[in-house]
Amino acid sequence: MKQYYLVRLDDACPQMNRLRWQRIENILDKYGIKPMVGIIPHNEDPVTCIDTIDTNFTSKVLNWQKKGWAIALHGYNHVCTTITGGINPVHKRSEFAGLPLAEQKEKISKGYKTLITVGIHPKYFFAPSHTYDENTLKALVEETSIRIISDSIALQPYKQGVFTMIPCQMGRFRRLPIRGYWTFCFHPNGMDDVAFDTFEHFIKTNLERFINFSDIDVNKVGKKTIVDRLLSFVYFTLRKIKG
């Protein structure tokens, strides 16, 4: 296994910072990289309400879809109401983890339908704050055809029941000493000039390592390895100790 780099963009919604999103799209287009993009179907989070509502948002997403970007359902309203970390406890807050199944099913179903109705077909899911639980997975199975999750700490994609889990480990670009599949997630809404320059420079100098999500053959993905079990255990134990 070599080193593969993947790009994930979080928090696309009608109130996103349009100029910054256009800027990141231009850079990705320039280097032929197709990222995963997380769409918030019913944004009510003040943190992600930046610009006035973009009436063109749906056609923008449809264009990303046409270009081959990996479309992900990113929660429902992006508002965290629990203090639970669930099965990927990167944070102790969640829109999903800790909620009863019925409530999660309603959120997932409403969000999914909102996108499907306008022709957007998400194949992936990732939750706000990276946090979800077993009920979120059940809700996805019962309400959607989504069977791929972005998020988890591991070195390579693995199967968990009917799901393929694609790890997401980093919030910024860095050269890594270990082989594996590395997803770097970015929040274009909060990126400044320096962040964009760093972003482009890293891509330019490491271009041969970048792949697209569609390059991952989910039929060839196996069970979580012992190394990955250990890695994830150590990661979350350290995170707990650090508080």
Measured in degrees and rounded to the nearest 5, phi and psi for residue 160 equal: -135, 100
Least distance in angstroms from the C-beta of 188 to Zn ion:
11
Residue closer to Zn ion (CB basis): 89 or 180: 89
Q: SS3 for 137?
A: helix
Measured in degrees and rounded to the nearest 5, phi and psi for residue 184 equal: -105, 120
- How far is C-alpha 74 from the chain's CA centre? 7
Pull the structure tokens for residue 95: 């829109």
Pull the structure tokens for residue 126: 């990732």
Select from 128, 157, 167, 180 the one that contacts Zn ion (CB under 5 A).
Answer: 128
Least distance in angstroms from the C-beta of 47 to Zn ion:
9
Pull the structure tokens for residue 53: 């509502």
Pull the structure tokens for residue 70: 């990996």
Place of tokens 């019913």: 42
Pull the structure tokens for residue 203: 């891509």
Least distance in angstroms from the C-beta of 230 to Zn ion:
28
**42, 186 Cβ separation under 8 angstroms:** no
Applying CB under 5 A, does 143 fall inside the site for Zn ion? no
Applying CB under 5 A, does 10 fall inside the site for Zn ion? yes
Residue closer to Zn ion (CB basis): 127 or 231: 127
Least distance in angstroms from the C-beta of 31 to Zn ion:
24
Residue closer to Zn ion (CB basis): 11 or 25: 11
Applying CB under 5 A, does 95 fall inside the site for Zn ion? no
Pull the structure tokens for residue 152: 């988890």
Applying CB under 5 A, does 151 fall inside the site for Zn ion? no
Least distance in angstroms from the C-beta of 11 to Zn ion:
4
Select from 6, 7, 8, 11 the one that contacts Zn ion (CB under 5 A).
Answer: 11
Residues in contact with Zn ion by CB under 5 A are 10-11, 128
